[in-house]
Every structure is written in structure tokens, then in C-alpha cells.
A and B are shown apart, each in its own frame.
Chain A
């Protein structure tokens, strides 16, 4: 036990890795070997399940055949990418993916900010808590159940939505069988499910707003509305920017699950997006190399986007991810 006590390591607070000579490295490693054992499971998991698939990405440039394996398959260069660019529905897929993500962001992103500001202005504590409990709840419903709810609510014969429409003299709408309705339904159901839960971060940011700013504003005769506009919103702007960068950076990785579950032959014209296309070509049609190329193309755009957006944000607001 005594051997493990290292005088250097017990001086508090500072990181010694910079100032200690190299020969100490081994003794530090020996002292901390248990901590490295703690890290071993995650390192092995990541090497196998995250880094090995990155090595496997090369099949996007090969004609993968299972018998020859990843390494043994023949190189074909950018052939699969060219094939993808030349498929008849290439532009449809790209447009579908981008419209769905940008529209979701456009309508979904401001919603929690507005609701958080409204909640923050509530005076009655218990009613506020009740409202919060209710609007967080849909977050815990699974995607399958959410799409199931869309199915039963929007059913042309028995769904409550079409009952309301016919009540006002309209004709029932075949929502889920209509390509034009796919995007509005995807976006609205997303807002219904996630807006409440997304307010948590903004509420935390609003709770951190300096009360003296509000007091000063009241002294100057500012109304509630003006205080929201000139005190609350500027104070939470950094939080908004960070979350916006994260959201923009993920624009190409919109969820597979809901689009896949909502997809049918009838709305394929708008619901065919890159993630569902990768699944269709790769898992269902076993076109491994082609599908990997499509996925890689998608991540490439995503990475370019996040780096670009981060740089712009850094220049304009001095807030950035790194």
C-alpha cells in the first residue's frame, strides 16, 4: 500500500503531465493502473464497434463481396458515388432530405425558446409545474407509438381529425397516403413530441439571468414585454447559438426511425430521404458497397456543414463549439 503513495501526485489541483519528466510517466502509469483498467471496456468497445466500421468504410470504394472480405475485395474508385449521382432519383432524395431537415429546424427550433420564455414569466409555481409536467411527457413516447397515434388519429374513416373536418363540412383527407402531407405531419408531430422537453435547457439559461438587469429595467419603466425582448432574449443568446450550431450540424442526420415508419409507397415521393434510402439499398437489397457510399456522402456533407456553421458562428457571435 505504501508504495502507491506518490508525494508529487498529492499536491492539489495542478496537472503535472506537462512539468514532470518523462521517466515519471511509467511510475504514474503504475500508480494509476486501476484507472486504465476502468477505461479498458470502453476502449475495446470503441475499437471494435466504432473504429473497425470506419476501417470498413473503404467498401464504399470497392466491390464488396462477402467471400473476399473487406480487404480482399476489388477497388473500384468512385464508381458507386458516380452511380449514386446518376440514379434517376438522386435530386429527389437530396431535396427531400434537405427540405425535411431545414423545415423541421425552421419550425421546430424557435418553438421551445418561445415556450420557455412564456413559462419563465409564469408566477404561479404549482400551475407552472403542472404545465411543465404535461408538456415534457410526449418525449417519453416511442417513435413507434407516435406514428401509431398518427395512424389512428388520421385514419380516413375513424380518425378524430377527419371527424372534425367532416363536422365542419369538409371531405376526409387521406393524410398518410398523400405525399404532400408527409412533411407537415413529420414536422408537426416532431414539434408536439419534443418542444416541451427542449424547453429545459432554455429554462435553465433563463434562471441564470441576472435579476439586477430586470430590476434596472423596471426602474426605467420597462414593461414585461420589453424586459423579455431586451433582457431575457439577449441573456440566453449564447445558449441559443450553441444549440443552433449543434442542430445545423446534424441537418443531414435527421432521424431514420420516424421517416421509415411513416413511409409507404404512396408518400414515397417526399418520404424517400437519405437514411431510409441507405437502409433500403443496404439492408433490404444487400447492395453493401453502394449503400455505404451513399452513407459516406451524407456524413461528408454533414461534417462540412458543422465546420462551416461553427466558423460562421465564431465570427459573428464569438460563440462556438470549439
Chain B
């Protein structure tokens, strides 16, 4: 049967050639912009301006990175993002996992009511302004809590973890444990969690990436620049063209400023995305796993 699947006609050979060529082109289209940012961030901005940088850095320089790293706003942004991601992930994963376990149990009374209570929020929501007014009334504006608490325990994540529990922790296991006098809490801590390391990893990754890349909540709820996460700092530089004067202290002419600004932009893209892009190939299988479990109908 294997040899049967491998047998090729001439049409099939063409099919393979075209398929491989097109996929290679698609891959290069995806890869090149990322690669170009790297190359440009290491090149003399004059060559970027004249369009001479294509495949390799030209006029190699670390000037952009030196300017970026000597500026405090990037570091503050980094620090804030790490803080928000750590705290947000802890709270988010805890709420999600605690909610998912009871909902995975077949014998929980009122389970479907609670499930609907959660699911309804996928279709109906108060929307931006009522939520904003609530955060304001709770005096959570301009605090870290506005970023890490309101969104904790998203329905979709709860469903993913619940599905995992249902398929990997058989009910018989709890039945056996409860006969031996094990309490629900103890069962959860010493049996369920140790058996669920992979889904915990998936949830941690989802949350960390979400907090690392998110900027909407910070945009709405924070107004103190010293609390800005990295993405808001980046927005000022990349989108609003507000490069901190600290990065430009020695640059005189307007034209030179424009050039250095470009260089700094390429650099900050690298600096902010690199941690994820470096880690990502190692973590890829967990993301794929998360998407797969998530796609199983809840």
C-alpha cells in the first residue's frame, strides 16, 4: 500500500514540482520581511535610505541598538510588560484551570447552567464604554489591576482546558480516589494537575503571548507613562514617530534625525519581537497542541 501511494505519474511529478516551488515562494514571502528588519537594523541608515540594503547588512553598525538600549523608556516598558505578563498569567491560568476542572466533571450538579452563564458572554457583552465606566468606578484606572483582572478566565481557554481534562482524566480515577477517602481538592492538586502539565504549558504560553503583545487595555486604562507596557512605548516610536530625545542627543540636522529614526525603528522591532521569535520554534508544538485541542468542539 505504501508503494502504491508513492507511485507517480508524470502529472503527479509536475504537481509536486509546482507545489514545492509555490510553497517555497510563499515561505520566502513570509520570511523576507522579518529577515529584512534584522538586516536593516544592523546597517548604516544612509544605505537604507538609498535603497542599497537587500540581503546583507551594509555599513554594519550597532549604533541603533546602542541608542535604544541607552534609553530608559524601552527598559521601563520591558519591565512593565514582564510584570504584567507574570501577574496576568498567574491570575489568568489559575482562574481558567480552577473553573475548567469542575466543568469537566460529569457528576457536577448545575454544570450546564454554569456553562451557559459563561458562554452567553461570547454573544452578548456590555461593550467598551460600560466596561470602561465600571473600571473607572472601581478605581482601577491607571492601575495594573485593570490589565490583569477583567479579562481573566476567557471562555475559550476554559473550554480548551475542560476538553483536555475530559479526555485525559477519566472519571473512574476520581471514583477510585474518592472511595479511598480523597477529597476533591486533594485529588485536584495531587492527581489532576501533575497529569496536566502539557495543557498548563499551553495556557501559560497563550497568556504570556497575549500579555506581551497586547496594548488595547493599556491604551484605554493607563495614562501614566511610567506604567506603559512595551507595546505602548513601541507605538509611540513606530506609529507616532515620537523617538525619545534621549536617543537623539548627538544628532544635529533634520535629515540625520530622520535617518537615525528609521534605524531605531528597525532596532526596536527586533528588540521587542526577538524574545518570542527565538523561543517560538522550541515552543511551537505546544501552540499547535493548543490550537488542536481548542478546535475540538466543546
Give the interface of A toward B (CB within 8 A).
1-2, 4-5, 9-10, 12-17, 25, 28-29, 32, 34-36, 38-39, 41-43, 45-46, 48-57, 59, 66, 70, 115, 118-119, 121-123, 130-131, 133-138, 140-145, 147-149, 151-153, 155, 157-158, 160, 163, 166-167, 192, 196-197, 200-201, 204, 211, 214-215, 218-219, 223-225, 242, 256-257, 261, 278-279, 282-283, 288, 291-292, 295-296, 299, 303, 306
Contact = CB atoms under 8 A, between A and B. Distances in A.
B60 interface: no
Nearest to A141: B273
Given A17-B109, A140-B209, A49 B98 contact: no
B171 A13 contact: yes
Given A10-B175, A292-B129, A151 B181 contact: no
Given A140-B280, A158-B49, A200-B288, A50 B95 contact: no
13 contacts: A16-B107, A35-B108, A38-B99, A42-B98, A45-B152, A52-B134, A115-B26, A135-B30, A141-B273, A145-B269, A148-B265, A152-B262, A224-B12
B139 interface: no
Given A35-B101, A201-B295, A292 B281 contact: no
B43 to A, nearest CB: 11
B181 A1 contact: yes
Contact of B126 (A17, A38, A52): A52
A43 B124 contact: no
A295 B48 contact: no
A141 B45 CA distance: 24
A5 B126 CA distance: 43
Nearest to A263: B239
B7 interface: yes
A149 B183 contact: no
A143 B215 contact: yes
Contacts of A10: 175, 178-179
Contacts of A257: 215-216
Interface in B44-79: 45, 48-49, 51
A292 B130 contact: yes
B90 to A, nearest CB: 13
Contacts of A39: 98-99, 102-103, 114
Interface in B198-233: 209, 212-216, 220, 231
B98 A57 contact: no
Given A42-B158, A145-B272, A223-B15, 11 more contacts: A10-B179, A39-B103, A122-B23, A131-B24, A137-B277, A140-B280, A144-B235, A151-B265, A158-B49, A160-B36, A242-B297
B105 interface: yes
Contacts of B284: 133, 136
Nearest to B24: A131
Contacts of A278: 127-129
Contacts of A134: 27, 30-31
Contacts of A5: 178-179, 181
A9 B5 CA distance: 51
Given A43-B114, A223-B15, A152 B265 contact: yes
Given A122-B19, A292-B127, A292-B129, A45 B153 contact: yes
Residue of A66, A160, A166, A196 ringed by the most chain B CB atoms within 10 A: A160
A158 B262 contact: yes
A291 to B, nearest CB: 5
A204 B292 contact: yes
B277 A54 contact: no
B11 A148 contact: no
Given A32-B184, A152-B265, A261 B117 contact: no
A130 B96 CA distance: 33
Interface string B91-115: 0001110110111011111000010
A49 B134 contact: yes
B133 interface: yes
A214 B4 CA distance: 10
A261 B239 contact: yes
B167 interface: no
Contact of B234 (A35, A148, A296): A148
A143 B213 contact: yes
A219 B234 CA distance: 58
B102 A282 contact: no
B51 A167 contact: yes
B12 to A, nearest CB: 5
Contacts of B108: 32, 35
B231 A142 contact: yes
Interface string B156-178: 00100000000000011001001
A295 B175 contact: no
B212 A142 contact: yes
